Amino acid sequence: DAMVIQNPRYQVTQFGKPVTLSCSQTLNHNVMYWYQQKSSQAPKLLFHYYDKDFNNEADTPDNFQSRRPNTSFCFLDIRSPGLGDAAMYLCATSRESSIDEQFFGPGTRLTVL
Amino acid sequence: GENVEQHPSTLSVQEGDSAVIKCTYSDSASNYFPWYKQELGKRPQLIIDIRSNVGEKKDQRIAVTLNKTAKHFSLHITETQPEDSAVYFCAANLYGNNRLAFGKGNQVVVIP
């Protein structure tokens, strides 16, 4: 029943080496979100797309970028990963920008060496 | 301070007893309050949500109550079962839109 798919599930990168995480969805939802979840902490919203409109959170570091080439796919780019960026990265979708259930993917666990 | 605070951080209950998790929020414009369950190594899944136009919502063994005046909402799980063991996150939408702020999570352990 995979509706929000994230690849890879586990990603290892080196300090400072750019890395891209991907998310795809089969729900045809307009909104896609990226969250960062560190160990034993709450998911923290980094940014989201409503259709092609990008919405960045004020406290999201410039090191994090995102692309959404079409409705189904969304990418998270970390330009220069630091040790503090090691976390679980969760993608989520919702139908509209109004209040609606968010469906989460299984996450990608990023390790920075 | 945090937009959403969640207490307690861990909760152990005997199978069959009830579990209650409380959250407070700070944004007066919040009008949507979902609860997510996250089992170890799995994705967060919505278990129940409530909008600000109602004070209580129930779905089988799970209920949520909302007190907008006091800015707090609670999750109630009755007749707990071992499969209820998980981390539970409360959330509130910021500025009345779709951006969610999550609480830090509550580890619920149901002891058989």
Q: pLDDT (tens digit, 9 = 90+) per residue, A53-105? A: 999 999 999 999 999 999 999 999 999 999 999 999 999 999 986 678 899 99
Q: Residue A2: is its pLDDT beyond 70? A: no
Mutate to test the interface with B, among A99, A100, A104 (most CBs of B within 10 A): A99
Residue B112 corresponds to which tokens in the numbers above? 């058989």
Looking at residue B8, its pLDDT comes to 75
pLDDT band at A1 (very low <50, low <70, confident <90, very high): low
Do B103 and A106 lie within an 8 Å CB cutoff?
A: no
3-state helix vs strand vs coil in chain B, percent to 5: 5, 55, 40
Q: How many CB atoms lie within 10 A of CB B56?
A: 12
List the single residue in A with minimal CA-CA distance to B10. Answer: A40
The percentage of chain A sitting over the pLDDT mark of 90, rounded to a whole number, equals 88
In angstroms, rounded to a whole number, what is the distance separating the alpha carbons of residues A90 and A37? Answer: 7
The share of chain B scoring above pLDDT 90, in percent, equals: 79
- Provide the b/e sequence for A68-93 (b: ≥16 CB within 10 Å): beebbebbbebeebeeebbbbbbbbb
Contacts of A41 in chain B (CB under 8 A): 104-105
Task: Please state the length of chain B.
Answer: 112
% of residues, chain B, pLDDT over 70: 98
pLDDT of res. A98: 66
| Average predicted confidence (pLDDT) for chain B | 92
Instruction: For A11-33, give the secondary structure using H, E and C.
Output: EEECCCCCEEEEEEECCCCCEEE
Let me know: does A35 contact A89? Beta carbons within 8 Å.
yes
Residue B1, pLDDT above cutoff 60: no
Which among B42, B47, B98 has a CA at the least distance from the CA of A37? B42
Taking the CA atoms of A13, A72, B99 and B22 in sequence, report the sign of the dihedral they define: negative
- Whether B102 and chain A come into contact, CB under 8 Å, resolves to yes
Q: What is the pLDDT of residue A35?
A: 96
Contacts of B59 (CB under 8 A, 6+ apart): B47, B48
Highest mean pLDDT of the ranges A42-46, A97-101, B13-17, B95-99: B13-17
- Asked if pLDDT for residue B54 goes beyond 90, the answer is no
